[in-house]
Chain A
Amino acid sequence: MLEFTQHIINGLSLGSIYALIALGYTMVFGILQLINFAHGDVFMLGAFIGMYSSRYFALDRNPSLGSLFIALGCAMIGCAAIGFCIEKLAYRPLRKSPRINILITAVGVSLFLEFSGQLLFGADPKFFPEIYKPSVNWSIGELVINPLQMIVLATALILMMVLQFIIFKTRLGRAMRAVSFSHEYASLMGIATDKIISSTFMLGSALAGAAGVLVGLVYPKVEPLMGVMPGLKAFVSAVLGGIGNVTGAAVGAITLGLAEEFLVGYWASTYRDALAFGILILILIFKPTGIFGVERIEKV
């Protein structure tokens, strides 16, 4: 029973990591119907920006929530800028091209970020400075909860609600929804579609940046290829929850986190990486719209 409960706690905290990345994924997909392969790599860049900025400001000398916010701010701004550039240089010129071409470009951008990251930062893993240190682990009997991971879970939930608010309660959100419904109709209604897409991209990338810093804090190791697997798994979470749906992404991520946890804990740890893709395949075959997704009618 103890083991089981611990597994649930672990699964929740792992899921919250996936959720942080999946939120950005699902935002971009919702508006562009584009799998932004580079999202995982923007997440990696976020972790690096967080690391370098905390080194620059010597944030690990007085670890506190304030230091964490400074690093988060730097990473989010940096990643938003990177996201803006990626969208402007690589995706915008292809807005009218077939989807396959945009997909190939996304793969290209992803590979470019990974390998130039290796040249720029070096391939060896770097230590992420401890810019926020909670006093002790919370434990109930033998159950252990890492407060950092609870911060991640809370951040993921808060961000999810903030996004929900932006999408459904603000002018920007309304414009986003309009653009995701149809680019042409939206621009006919006087919405500057390019601007909206650009800001969605920046928002999504800023989320990835935040995720990078938080992951760096919980798992203090950053390296240029760290975004590949989490990126893919976050994508699976987004599809599982119904891609384009913010709540769905969070729910899908937690589900995936728990599923991985139980597979590894009780059955076969060697098949862990296959699980995410197995789930993806099953969900795409039996309910391609995901848990919360809405059926889109294909227009001829």
Chain B
Amino acid sequence: MNDVTVFGIKACWKWVVVIAIFWTFHLLVSDRLNPYIFDIIIYAGINIILAVSLNLVNGFTGQFSMGHAGFMSIGGYLSAYLTMLVFNLFPGIDTQSIYGTLFFLSALFCGGLGAAVSGYLVGLPSLRLKGDYLAIITLGFGEIIRVIILNIETIGGARGLPGIPALSHFGWVYTFVVLSIFTVWRLMQSPHGRAFLSVREDEVAAEAMGVNTTKTKVRAFALGAFFAGIAGGLFAHYLLYLNPQGFDFNKSFEIIIMVVLGGMGSISGSVIAAVFLTAIREALRELQQFTQIDFRMVIYSLMLIILMLTRPNGLFGTKEIFHFIPLRRRSLHDVKA
């Protein structure tokens, strides 16, 4: 991240504008919108963060992590525990005040950091493994994290953690959506990002070119875990309740489906898939009221199989959405390194 262009003013202004637009939307419209649809938009945002961060590992670096829900739960529990601690110690602080917001943001950051550290610890030994083995080992780590949380009484154990202060809202969720997309996007244009891609394309060749493949993989892993942790924190302060059962491997599968559907290595693909799958889940709820049977998971799994058989690279493959729009200058960026 020491690359000058990453923090260069020129590169950032568009993104700042997007964040500003989201905040304006938040301040003006959010109270008037249908709360249920608004909820879907919030969860879509959280899913975008999860999908984009997992894409960094599964798509750009070509690894296969199946434990993303575990990192999400670490971030969620850690930040929720911190905010609950702070607001119980100082009951005078208004959650909406500037101090409340600052506490919330630092708790989120701590949650993300905790997830990143565990991602680092998980990644360090296990990323020497490849493909299927890595997949199953990350799944194992996700489960171990869940079992550990089940056993910690101070955060509720199996009974869950209720009473989390309501701190996250549209503005913050979408700020972090933009931040996560921005980070991954800019990273992929930096030399570090190229190292990630080289690991995906050919590990042996990358090693021969002087890329430290293990280090690169661990970096991708830790960064992905960081944003998963942030997403977990946002989720916790929106749902106001956490339960370890919500972070089992089915949750990890859900995120994987988003990444695979959108295309492994396509940021816009992940974004669209996350939004689409969050929305379709609710649309299928309508169907369920007529049929009285829940087809959702059957449809999800069939979709996954059919997608692999017919379009194994997902909707967008490694391309971004604007690659399909002829008006834009293609030379801006070519993801396929």
Do A and B touch directly, given a CB cutoff of 8 Å in the complex?
A: yes
Which of B5-13, B136-144, B316-324, B329-337 is the contact stretch?
B136-144
Nearest B residue to A97 via CB reads B312
A184: CB under 8 A from chain B? no
0/1 per residue, A8-50, Cβ < 8 Å to B?
0000000000000000000000000111000000000000000
| Inter-chain contact B298/A115, CB cutoff 8 Å | yes
Contact with A along B293-337 (1 / 0, CB 8 A): 111011011101100110010000000000000000000000000
Which of B136, B148, B294 lies at the interface centre, i.e. has the most chain A CB atoms within 10 A of its CB? B136
Closest Cβ neighbor of B66 among chain A residues: A107
A104 near B137: Cβ-Cβ < 8 Å: no
Task: Identify 19 residue pairs between A and B in the complex whose beta-carbon atoms are under 8 Å apart, listed by A's number.
Answer: A94-B308, A97-B312, A100-B131, A101-B312, A105-B305, A107-B253, A109-B305, A111-B301, A115-B298, A235-B136, A270-B151, A271-B151, A274-B147, A277-B144, A278-B140, A281-B141, A284-B133, A285-B125, A285-B128
- B residues 116-154 near A (Cβ < 8 Å) are 125-126, 128-129, 131-133, 135-137, 139-141, 143-144, 147-148, 150-151
Q: What 1/0 mask marks residues of chain A from 260 to 281 whose CB sits below 8 Å from any chain B CB? A: 0000000000110110111011
* Majority secondary structure, A binding face: helix
Question: Is the C-beta of B64 less than 8 angstroms from some C-beta in chain A?
Answer: yes
B260 touches A277 (CB 8 A): no
Mark each residue of chain A from 70 to 113: 1 if its CB lies under 8 Å from any CB of chain B, else 0. 00000000000000000000100110011111111101111110
C-alpha spacing A90/B308, complex, angstroms: 9
Inter-subunit contact A104/B308 (CB<8 Å): yes
Q: Could you say which of A33, A100, A273, A288 contacts B64, with CB atoms under 8 Å apart?
A: A100
Q: Does A119 contact B (CB under 8 A)?
A: yes
Q: Does B280 count as interface, using CB distance less than 8 angstroms?
A: no
Sample of 4 further A-B pairs with CB below 8 A, known A100-B62, A277-B141, A277-B143: A103-B131, A119-B295, A119-B298, A239-B136
How long is the Cα–Cα vector from A258 to B167 in the complex, in angstroms? 47
- Please tell me the size bucket of the interface on B: 35 or more
B256 within 8 A of A: yes
Residue B93 is within 8 A (CB to CB) of chain A in the complex? no
Do A277 and B312 touch (CB < 8 A)? no
B143 is contacted by which of A97, A270, A274 (Cβ under 8 Å)? A274
Which positions 256-298 of chain B face chain A at CB distance < 8 Å?
256, 260, 264, 293-295, 297-298
Interface flag for A187 (CB, 8 Å): no
B1 in the interface (beta carbon within 8 A): no
Please tell me if A188 contacts chain B, counting CB pairs below 8 Å: no
- State which of A107, A114, A271, A274 has its C-beta within 8 Å of the C-beta of B256: A107
Interface size class of A (residues with CB under 8 A): 35 or more
Chain B interface, DSSP helix/strand/loop, else mixed: helix
When distances are taken between beta carbons in the complex, the residues of chain B under 8 Å from A1 are none
Are the CB atoms of A105 and B253 closer together than 8 Å? no
B20 within 8 A of A: no
Contacts of B18 in A (CB 8 A): none
Residues of chain A within 8 A of B135, CB atoms compared: 35, 103
Q: Does B27 contact A (CB under 8 A)?
A: no
Judge whether B204 and A300 touch: CB under 8 Å.
Answer: yes
Is A64 part of the binding interface, using a Cβ–Cβ cutoff of 8 Å?
no
For B308, give the chain A residue with the smallest CB separation: A105
Instruction: Please judge, given known A-B contacts A35-B132, A101-B312, A105-B308, whether A115 and B137 are in contact too, CB under 8 Å.
Output: no
Q: How far is A97 from B294 in the complex, measured between Cα atoms in Å?
A: 32
Complex Cα–Cα for A273 and B249 (A): 13
Residues in B whose Cβ lies below 8 Å from that of A107: 253, 256, 304
Contact status of A281 and B297, CB under 8 A, knowing A104-B260, A111-B304: no
Verify if A62 is at the interface (C-beta below 8 Å from B): no
Can you name the residue of chain A whose Cβ is closest to the Cβ of B296?
Answer: A115
Chain B residues lying within 8 Å of A108, measured Cβ to Cβ, are 301-302, 304-305, 308
- Chain B residues closer than 8 Å to A112, beta-carbon distance: 298, 301-302, 305
Task: List residues of chain A with CB within 8 A of the CB of B140.
Answer: 276-278, 280-281
**A244 vs chain B, min Cβ distance (A):** 12
Query: Interface readout for B245-258 with A: 1 if CB under 8 Å, 0 if not?
Result: 00000000100100
**CB nearest neighbor in A for B129:** A284
Closest to B124 in A: A285
Q: Which residues of A contact B295 (CB under 8 A)?
A: 119
